[in-house]
């Protein structure tokens, strides 16, 4: 239902005169567009006033899509409550910490705990579900749009938070103990003293703040579930997804996705030539993260089609080939359907300069021609690619709880959980090695190497799972700031790395938050690498040191160790070492574990492999403005050209090659 490899577009019929509809849809059909997303911001057209539902116009446009053989995904419109709703039911609008109201104007002006939003949002969702359940063009639903954290401080949120805390801890005695509120006389003596974090100071009890984040995640989950339940019952044959946007996010995408059929991502790689060295890699990480959400293929619900702009100066125009190459990158990393945002640039409203495939002039130009080529290619190869996916032997563990906790209490200048993951993932990607990025609580079966960055919060279950992984022969890499806290963000009274001390075979005697200052480590070969952020001063208990500090009062003290643990081994990195150290480390592991990788990739060129019953396909993408050459190990059949490729494969700027392995 949702695993066709195909191209779609986001279309806003309500923005255009009805006379344009059929012309637009006919051109979509001719171009090879297979699916559209509609209606996710159209509440004021679907229900112009309270209870006055107007679905006829949407019927007409969906009928037209059906007539032209294009499938439809409908978005529930709750991200943009209409003015009659926000004016008459003020509980819909979120409240900032300082009491200011988040007024309508842009999207997202809605409190997830608002009873009115729940009631009216459910009503329109039910209306749409019932109405389109049987329409032959409709295949699925997007809930709301781009969920994100709002940090609402209204009374409904206060009540909901109190209830959430009651349910978790049962009594204030437990709350006071588990949060350590005694510090600075923060103990609660009655439930009404407990509120969401109000203004005055961002420096509050970190246990309280972490639970407030969790509460907010749950609020989104509950809000979305009210729509999912309706759609499941009204449209049992349809799939349900949600379009997440950008990483890192403060929202826990894993929790929010638990009940979805498929994850979707809105992908806007930066077009600037100044970002050319980083964009392909941070983009690859975003796609691997999205594939990791449900641990299977995903959708792109909005794919860059022109220069974004509006609430910022416009970005650079996409270079020739950019749009096509980045669309292929998403498929190479597990996207099936790629929906492009948007068909045509808006002529009205706050998003006029978020450019679509076609400009305001409605004259298709260079970008549209490139999109047409993409549609043809994907339509030609979609059948072969359908059912294929990525099978990787390396995984990075990723956690929104760690992200939140490390955001609440910054550790050292320049130390950033997500940026560190970026570095590890970039080193892996440059080696042409496939990598999953998965939720830290997931089973680890099938992996040979696990990188677990800063397991700052830690419980026994996870520590045991990681020990089991290593004991069974896996290679586990852990880093400084692991085992620091229990899951309530309370410091652990034992030497670091706490619950991982046994597995790592080291003891942290002391640490130095070196921050942005550059220090050095020296490995056993005498090679010197820069390090920064943090220095754990290590005493190996059962581990062997493999790198030592090169300076400061702890020169000569172990900085990196490896511990043989059962059939496997555990690396401990006491400091943040530069990327090239990771390349050496990972290359050694690749040899040891016979990990599939692609040595000698030029910078900017990415390799990835999709496998399935229909075959195994190697994607080679030059995400760079310069031509590049890749050395092929043998002859391959090129899916795009149908010809044989061998030896030096030339890739033009933003060139794409797909080889059958």
- Per residue, what are the HEC states of 381-404? HHHHHCCCECCCCEEEEECHHHHH
Residues 632 and 640: their CA atoms lie apart, in Å, by 17
Q: Determine which one of 40, 47, 146, 569 is catalytic.
A: 146
Residues 304 and 311: their CA atoms lie apart, in Å, by 17
* 420 scored as a contact of a copy of itself (CB under 8 A): no
Question: Between residue 503 and residue 562, which ones bind a copy of itself under the rule CB under 8 A?
Answer: 509-515, 517, 553
Residues 582 and 533: their CA atoms lie apart, in Å, by 16
Q: Which of 54, 90, 352, 646 binds a copy of itself (CB under 8 A)?
A: 352
Piece of 25-33, 362-370, 555-563, 593-601 that binds a copy of itself (CB under 8 A): 362-370
Q: Which of 71, 76, 80, 563 binds a copy of itself (CB under 8 A)?
A: 80
Q: Which of 197, 364, 602, 612 binds a copy of itself (CB under 8 A)?
A: 197
Question: Between residue 258 and residue 317, which ones bind a copy of itself under the rule CB under 8 A?
Answer: 273-274, 307, 309-317
* 99 scored as a contact of a copy of itself (CB under 8 A): yes
Task: List the Cα angle 142/143/144 in 5-degree steps.
Answer: 115
Q: Which of 350, 369, 380, 464 binds a copy of itself (CB under 8 A)?
A: 350
Instruction: Rank residues 412 and 433 by Cβ distance to a copy of itself and give the closer one.
Output: 412
Is 142:10 a contact under the CB 8 Å cutoff?
Answer: no
Is 234:126 a contact under the CB 8 Å cutoff?
Answer: yes
Q: Is 145 annotated as belonging to a binding site? A: yes
| Long-range Cβ contact pairs of 628-637 (< 8 A, separation 24 or more) | 628/602, 628/604, 628/655, 629/602, 630/600, 630/601, 630/602, 630/605, 631/600, 632/659, 636/660, 636/661
Residues 80 and 105: their CA atoms lie apart, in Å, by 9
* 51 scored as a contact of a copy of itself (CB under 8 A): no
Q: Which of 7, 8, 11, 41 binds a copy of itself (CB under 8 A)?
A: 41
**Shortest separation between residue 120's beta carbon and a copy of itself, angstroms:** 12
Dihedral sign for Cα atoms in the order 521, 523, 525, 530:
negative
- Is 119 a residue of the active site? no
- Residue 313 is given by DSSP the state P
Any residues with CB less than 8 A from the CB of 551 and at least 6 apart, and which? 519, 520
Please tell me whether residue 4 adopts helix, strand or coil conformation: coil
Among residues 660, 15, 10, the alpha carbon closest in space to that of 299 is found at 10
* 179 scored as a contact of a copy of itself (CB under 8 A): yes
Q: Which of 51, 56, 167, 185 binds a copy of itself (CB under 8 A)?
A: 185
**617 φ, ψ to 5°?**
-125, 125
**Shortest separation between residue 588's beta carbon and a copy of itself, angstroms:** 31
Dihedral sign for Cα atoms in the order 457, 461, 462, 467:
positive
Would you list the DSSP string of 459-522?
-HHHHHHHHHHHHTT-EEEEESS-S-B-TTS-B-SSSTTGGGHHHHTEEEEEEEEEEEEEEEEE
Piece of 219-227, 240-248, 355-363, 390-398 that binds a copy of itself (CB under 8 A): 355-363
Q: Which of 19, 51, 56, 98 binds a copy of itself (CB under 8 A)?
A: 98
* 495 scored as a contact of a copy of itself (CB under 8 A): yes
Q: Which of 114, 216, 345, 388 binds a copy of itself (CB under 8 A)?
A: 345
What are 568's two structure tokens? 């496997």
Buried b (16+ CB within 10 A) or exposed e, 621-644: bbbbeeebebeeeeebeebeeeee
Residues 543 and 572: their CA atoms lie apart, in Å, by 9
Is 292:283 a contact under the CB 8 Å cutoff?
Answer: no
* 205 scored as a contact of a copy of itself (CB under 8 A): yes
Instruction: Rank residues 45 and 232 by Cβ distance to a copy of itself and give the closer one.
Output: 45
* 84 scored as a contact of a copy of itself (CB under 8 A): yes
Piece of 96-104, 376-384, 460-468, 631-639 that binds a copy of itself (CB under 8 A): 96-104
Q: Which of 23, 87, 163, 580 binds a copy of itself (CB under 8 A)?
A: 87
Piece of 289-297, 493-501, 521-529, 611-619 that binds a copy of itself (CB under 8 A): 493-501
Is 381:615 a contact under the CB 8 Å cutoff?
Answer: no
Instruction: Rank residues 1 and 101 by Cβ distance to a copy of itself and give the closer one.
Output: 101
* 15 scored as a contact of a copy of itself (CB under 8 A): yes
* 633 scored as a contact of a copy of itself (CB under 8 A): no
Piece of 39-47, 335-343, 471-479, 557-565 that binds a copy of itself (CB under 8 A): 39-47
Piece of 276-284, 410-418, 450-458, 635-643 that binds a copy of itself (CB under 8 A): 410-418
Length of the chain: 661
* 191 scored as a contact of a copy of itself (CB under 8 A): no
- Is 167 a residue of the active site? no
* 349 scored as a contact of a copy of itself (CB under 8 A): yes
Task: List the Cα angle 305/292/410 in 5-degree steps.
Answer: 90
Size of the site for a copy of itself (CB under 8 A): 108
**Shortest separation between residue 564's beta carbon and a copy of itself, angstroms:** 25
Would you list the DSSP string of 242-284?
EEEE-SS-SS-HHHHHTT-SEEEEEE-----GGGTTTHHHHHH
Please tell me whether residue 645 adopts helix, strand or coil conformation: strand
Q: Is 634 annotated as belonging to a binding site? A: no
Burial class (CB in 10 A: 0-12, 13-18, 19+), 597: buried
**Shortest separation between residue 471's beta carbon and a copy of itself, angstroms:** 26
* 497 scored as a contact of a copy of itself (CB under 8 A): no
Instruction: Rank residues 508 and 589 by Cβ distance to a copy of itself and give the closer one.
Output: 508
In sequence order, the β-bridge partners of residue 452 are 478
Q: Which of 65, 102, 417, 456 binds a copy of itself (CB under 8 A)?
A: 102
Q: Which of 202, 236, 526, 600 binds a copy of itself (CB under 8 A)?
A: 202
Q: Which of 22, 188, 566, 614 binds a copy of itself (CB under 8 A)?
A: 188
* 173 scored as a contact of a copy of itself (CB under 8 A): no
- Which is it for strands 656-660 and 615-622: parallel, antiparallel or unpaired? antiparallel
Q: Is 107 annotated as belonging to a binding site? A: yes
- Residue 339 is given by DSSP the state E
Instruction: Rank residues 187 and 386 by Cβ distance to a copy of itself and give the closer one.
Output: 187
Q: Is 152 annotated as belonging to a binding site? A: yes
Fill in the per-residue mask, 371 to 390: x = in contact with a copy of itself (CB under 8 A), - = not in contact: --------------------
* 77 scored as a contact of a copy of itself (CB under 8 A): yes
* 198 scored as a contact of a copy of itself (CB under 8 A): yes
**Shortest separation between residue 611's beta carbon and a copy of itself, angstroms:** 36
* 359 scored as a contact of a copy of itself (CB under 8 A): yes
Piece of 55-63, 288-296, 365-373, 610-618 that binds a copy of itself (CB under 8 A): 365-373
Is 480:511 a contact under the CB 8 Å cutoff?
Answer: yes
Q: Determine which one of 40, 47, 302, 401 is catalytic.
A: 302
Q: Which residues are identified as catalytic? A: 146, 302
List residues forming the annotated binding site: 107, 111, 145, 152, 154, 157, 311
List residues forming the annotated binding site for substrate: 107, 145, 311
């Amino acid at each position: 239902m949702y695993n066709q490899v195909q191209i779609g577009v986001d279309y806003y019929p309500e923005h255009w005169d009805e006379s344009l509809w059929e012309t637009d849809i006919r051109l979509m059909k001719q171009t090879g567009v297979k699916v559209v997303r509609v209606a996710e911001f159209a509440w004021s057209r679907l229900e112009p006033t309270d209870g006055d539902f107007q679905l006829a116009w949407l019927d007409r446009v969906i009928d037209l899509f059906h007539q032209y053989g294009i499938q439809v995904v409908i978005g529930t419109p709750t991200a943009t409550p209409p003015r009659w709703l926000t004016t008459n039911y003020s509980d819909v609008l979120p409240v900032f910490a300082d009491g200011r109201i988040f007024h309508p104007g842009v999207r997202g002006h809605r409190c997830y705990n608002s009873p009115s939003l729940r009631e009216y949002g459910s009503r329109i969702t039910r209306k749409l579900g019932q109405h389109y359940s049987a329409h032959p063009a409709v295949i699925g639903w997007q809930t709301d749009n781009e969920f994100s954290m709002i940090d609402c401080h209204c009374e409904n949120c206060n009540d909901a938070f109190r209830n959430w805390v009651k349910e978790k801890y049962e009594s204030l005695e437990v709350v006071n103990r588990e949060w350590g509120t005694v510090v600075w006389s923060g103990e609660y003596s009655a439930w009404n003293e407990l509120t969401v974090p109000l203004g005055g100071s961002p420096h509050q009890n970190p246990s309280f703040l972490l639970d407030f984040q969790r509460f907010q995640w749950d609020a989104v989950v509950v809000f979305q579930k009210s729509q999912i339940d309706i759609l499941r019952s009204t449209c049992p044959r349809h799939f349900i997804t949600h379009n997440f946007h950008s990483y890192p996010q403060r929202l826990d995408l894993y929790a929010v996705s638990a009940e979805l059929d498929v994850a979707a991502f809105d992908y806007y790689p930066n077009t600037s030539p100044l970002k050319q060295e980083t964009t392909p890699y941070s983009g690859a990480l975003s796609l691997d993260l999205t594939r990791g959400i449900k641990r299977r293929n995903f959708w792109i619900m909005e794919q860059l089609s022109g220069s974004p702009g509006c609430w910022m100066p416009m970005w650079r125009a996409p270079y020739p080939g950019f749009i096509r190459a980045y669309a292929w990158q998403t498929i190479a990393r597990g996207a099936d359907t790629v929906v492009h945002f948007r068909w045509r640039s808006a002529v009205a409203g706050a998003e006029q300069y978020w450019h679509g495939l076609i400009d305001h002039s409605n004259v298709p130009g260079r970008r549209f021609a490139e999109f047409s080529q993409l549609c043809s290619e994907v339509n030609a190869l979609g059948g072969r690619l359908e059912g294929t996916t990525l099978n990787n032997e390396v995984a990075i563990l990723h956690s929104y709880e760690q992200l939140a906790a490390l955001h609440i209490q910054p550790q050292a200048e320049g130390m950033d959980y997500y940026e560190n993951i970026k570095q590890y993932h970039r080193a892996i990607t440059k080696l042409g090695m496939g990598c999953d990025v998965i939720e830290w609580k997931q089973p680890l079966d099938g992996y040979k190497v696990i990188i677990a960055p800063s397991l700052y919060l830690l419980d026994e279950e996870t520590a045991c799972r990681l020990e089991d992984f290593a004991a069974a022969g896996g290679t586990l890499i852990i880093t400084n700031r692991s085992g620091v806290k229990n899951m309530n963000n309370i410091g652990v009274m034992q030497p670091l790395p706490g619950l991982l001390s046994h597995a790592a075979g080291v003891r942290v005697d002391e640490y130095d938050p070196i921050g942005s200052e550059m220090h050095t480590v020296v490995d056993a070969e005498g090679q010197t690498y820069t390090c920064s952020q943090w220095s754990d001063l290590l005493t190996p208990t059962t581990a062997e040191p493999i790198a030592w500090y090169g300076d400061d009062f702890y020169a000569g003290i172990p900085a990196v160790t490896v511990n043989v643990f059962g059939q496997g081994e555990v690396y401990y990195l006491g400091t943040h070492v530069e990327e090239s150290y990771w390349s050496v480390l990972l290359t050694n592991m690749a040899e040891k574990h016979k990990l599939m990788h692609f040595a000698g990739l030029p910078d900017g060129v990415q390799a990835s492999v999709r496998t399935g019953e229909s075959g195994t396909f190697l994607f080679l993408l030059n995400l760079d403005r310069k031509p590049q050459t890749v050395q092929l190990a043998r002859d391959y059949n090129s899916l795009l050209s149908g010809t044989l490729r061998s030896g030096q494969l030339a890739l033009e700027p933003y060139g794409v090659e797909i080889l059958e392995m």
